[in-house]
A = this chain, B = another copy of it.
Amino acid sequence: MIGISNGFDGLIDGTFRALGARDVGGILPHGGTILQTRRSERFFKPEHRQAARHQAQTAGIDALVVIGGEGSMRGAHALAGLGMRVMVVPASIDNDMVGTDVSIGVDTALNTIVDAVDKLRDTASSHTRCFLVETMGRGCGYLAVVAGVVCGAEMVLVPEIESSVSEVLDAIRDAHRRGKSNAIIIVAEGAGTRIGELLKAIEETDVGFHARASRLGHIQRGGSPTAFDRMLAARLGRKAVDALLAGESDALVGLSGRTIETVPVRDIIDRQREPSLEYFEMVKVLAR
């Protein structure tokens, strides 16, 4: 087993090192990666992809397990086009990948959000306030919408569904009218309406609560992995190796209900995840 540092840049540059069983001793409880990673600009160019392919061949790497999100999958797919055997393990807190119910990191990020919002609610309740909480997720509202359900939010704003500022004002006003001591609005970073705009609108209208904004930011990307994420990673990792040994390539290993299955990358590469309308509605039902 060989570990490649610095993502695709490391593949181009040949920053390889042997990885034995003892080299991963003690890393289980830690967030992040011991291999280091980075976004590779060079890898977008064919000549660098060829160089990467060549480096791998020279080092005797006969199959590649790529752990990452959308961009990593595209990179892996390009290498498969150059004849390299690859398997993608979906890891991205955005949960924007098709082909798996959930990616590695999502559950840990959600628990960090829950913990943060529970803390914000302490202040919100004590001061009878509304909090606008921005979660990550790029173009995907999954993190926000699940956060909305599990944090007891009044409403969720996501990129996939249009919501007006006045709907948000109504939701907060309703919470106040129903006697709530606080109101939480979850806003996905990619949502059409931004927290700054909402904050301004709330201050200009009488909705019963004063508002504060909190951008959770990068704390969502770290932390000791939860039980769910460790189990998912173990299962996906094992399947990735088994699938490669069984001759499969250019596929993603994903969670499909109860089982881990492989999906050809070509079937998912240009598809976008469906928004979770069921959960979006559930937030409104639970807020009552």
Contacts and interface: CB of A to CB of B under 8 A. Distances in A.
Interface of A: 21-22, 25-26, 28-33, 36-38, 101, 107, 110-114, 116, 118-123, 125-128, 131, 146-147, 149-152, 178-181, 212-219, 221-224, 226-228, 230-231, 234-235, 238, 256-258, 282, 285-286, 288
B149 A30 contact: no
A37 B217 contact: no
A31 B222 contact: no
Contacts of A180: 22, 25
Contacts of A226: 111, 114, 226
Given A111-B226, A222-B119, A126 B32 contact: yes
A187 to B, nearest CB: 14
Given A38-B128, A118-B224, A178-B22, A218 B257 contact: no
B285 A238 contact: yes
A123 B222 contact: yes
B127 A238 contact: no
A221 B22 contact: no
A119 B223 contact: yes
Contacts of A110: 227-228
A219 B36 contact: no
A4 to B, nearest CB: 14
Nearest to A6: B128
B127 A38 contact: yes
A114 B230 contact: yes
A222 B118 contact: yes
Contact of A231 (B119, B149, B215, B288): B149
A68 B104 CA distance: 30
Contacts of A26: 121, 125, 181
Contact of A146 (B31, B112, B231, B285): B231
B120 A219 contact: yes
Contact of A127 (B37, B120, B223): B37
A214 B217 contact: yes
Contacts of A122: 30-32, 221-223
Contacts of A151: 28
